[in-house]
Amino acid sequence: MNIQDIFNLVAPQIREVEEELRRQAGSHVFLIRRIGEYLQSGGGKRLRPVVMVLSSRLCGFEGPEVIRLAAVVELIHTATLVHDDIIDNADLRRGRPSVNASWGNGITVLMGDWLFMTSIGLALSQRDFRILEVLTNVTRNMVEGELLQMELHGKMDITESQHLEISEYKTARLFSACSGMGAILSEADPQRVEDLESYGRNLGMAFQLADDLLDFTSRPEVLGKPVIHDLREGKVTLPIIYLLEDGCPSYLDKVNAAIQENGREDLAKQDLLRLIAETRTLDRARARAIGFSEKAKESLAGFPDSVAKKALLGLADFVVSRNS
């Protein structure tokens, strides 16, 4: 199933999620409403709500609780993006000025906090301690992942295992929460909950590693930010980790040159991109992402065939083939 078919399959539910997000942003404070509208109009694939809707449907549950919790995870995701842009001093998000670039860091910190607290309030309306435990754990994990990334910021000797840990905590565990909560809502047996949590975790890992690749392979107008942007922010990802494992001193020199150069021609950046292509480190990193995608699909083996299962399988293929 291709991605457009998948989105069409869940379009009515995602429209309901969008409406719930609009309701939640309906504060009497004008600034909150204005920034909330700005964030909601910024696009995004809503992959996490899509995973939540499909996972619950796979287990035979499609109640209004799914919509509310899909809005919760999207609010959490948005809050982390808002805070990340402050930490990274990012000027762009999805091709538009970031919230911090438009309103300043002080307002943006508070807006991120408001989004987090709004998500908690909406989650509490479920009165389900199992769900609250999942959301509490994943939110704590995401902060831990961010702190680990900050601890390793700019270090060229970061290992593959360290990068994968950051990716799991910052990205994959929220995907895992989305798919797992779908099973919890349906009162599925523990094995099915575990299988869907595994699906989401591996899907999230595949998504993040594919995202790392886009920093080297996409175009600024498609990606919504400059290429090699992560590297210039001090974030060393798998392609660079694999490149530097070779131990060749000249490779490190080229990486440092690309980080430091900010001229219009960006010659050092192009030189690094050529080196990465020649050493095939992108292929190795892509294979790693595909490996997680395959693990995600394997996690669904115990579920009977259905349209929802087909869509989840298609989603695992999509996250490693996308161009933005």
Give per-residue pLDDT as tens, 279-301: 999 999 999 999 999 999 999 99
224 in a structural domain: no
pLDDT in tens, 38-94: 998 887 789 999 999 999 999 999 889 999 999 999 999 999 999 999 988 888 887
Where is 97: in which H helix or E strand?
strand 96-97
**Count of other CB atoms within 10 angstroms of residue 323:** 10
Segments forming the whole domain that contains residue 29: 3-210+296-318
222 in a structural domain: no
Domain CATH number, residue 105? 1.10.600.10
277 in a structural domain: no
309 in a structural domain: yes
Round the average pLDDT of the chain to a whole number and report it.
91
180 in a structural domain: yes
Residue with the two structure tokens 């998504």: 207
Amino acid at 22: R
Report whether 172 contacts 208 (CB < 8 A). Answer: yes
The percent of residues above 70 in pLDDT, for the chain, comes to: 96
**Residue 222 pLDDT > 80, yes or no?**
no
β-pair partners for 96: 93
257 in a structural domain: no
Residue 278 tokens read as: 């020649």
Confidence at residue 185, expressed as pLDDT on a 0 to 100 scale: 93
Domain count, the chain: 1
192 in a structural domain: yes
User: pTM of the entire structure?
Assistant: 0.93
Residue with the two structure tokens 């961010």: 146
Confidence at residue 143, expressed as pLDDT on a 0 to 100 scale: 95
**Residue 305 pLDDT > 90, yes or no?**
yes
**Residue 210 pLDDT > 70, yes or no?**
yes
Confidence at residue 52, expressed as pLDDT on a 0 to 100 scale: 97
pLDDT in tens, 113-152: 999 999 999 999 888 899 999 999 999 999 999 999 999 9
Q: How far is CA 65 from the centre of its chain?
A: 23
